[in-house]
Amino acid sequence: MTMTDCQHRITVLENEIKMRQDEIRELKCREDLLSMTFTTTCPACEGSREERYIDAAGDTDTRACSVCKGYGRIGPIKCKCGKVIDIDMIETRRQKYPKCPWCGELIRK
């Protein structure tokens, strides 16, 4: 094997690594999305995506539902720690920044 052969082979392998890394990144994104598949109509707003609330002036107004964050649907959310925030954990989901009750990590969505 000549030096040029070596260099060529290194370039090929490096490109291969880069391609695999891109592939992994894409798969991780997809995994995230799949773990967030919202399968159930939100029990708080019944799919209307909105909730009524009393604003500072005492008027009734509507805003994006705080349980489903305006998606209208919810599904189990898998935390980094491996535990699942199930669909019946309404109070956890209602928080502005929901945290995993097991490990305290912020939950996305």
Question: Residues interacting with Zn ion, by CB under 5 A?
Answer: 42, 44-45, 65, 67-68, 79, 81, 83, 100, 102-103, 105
Phi and psi torsions of 80, nearest 5°: -55, -30
Q: How far is the CB of 68 from Zn ion (least distance, A)?
A: 3
Helix (H) or strand (E) holding 20, with range, is helix 3-35
Closest CA to 50 of 66, 39, 37: 66
Q: Whose Cβ is closer to Zn ion: residue 57's or residue 96's?
A: 96
The rounded distance, in Å, linking the Cα atoms of 84 and 76 is 6
Q: Which is nearer to Zn ion, 27 or 103 (CB)?
A: 103
Instruction: State in angstroms the smallest separation of the CB of 67 from Zn ion.
Output: 5
Based on CB atoms, which residue is closest to Zn ion, 83 or 89? 83
Residues 61/53, Cβ–Cβ less than 8 Å: yes
CB 10 to Zn ion: min, Å:
41
Determine how many CB atoms are found less than 10 A away from the CB of residue 93: 23
Which is nearer to Zn ion, 87 or 100 (by Cβ)? 100
Q: Smallest distance from the beta carbon of 56 to Zn ion, in angstroms?
A: 22
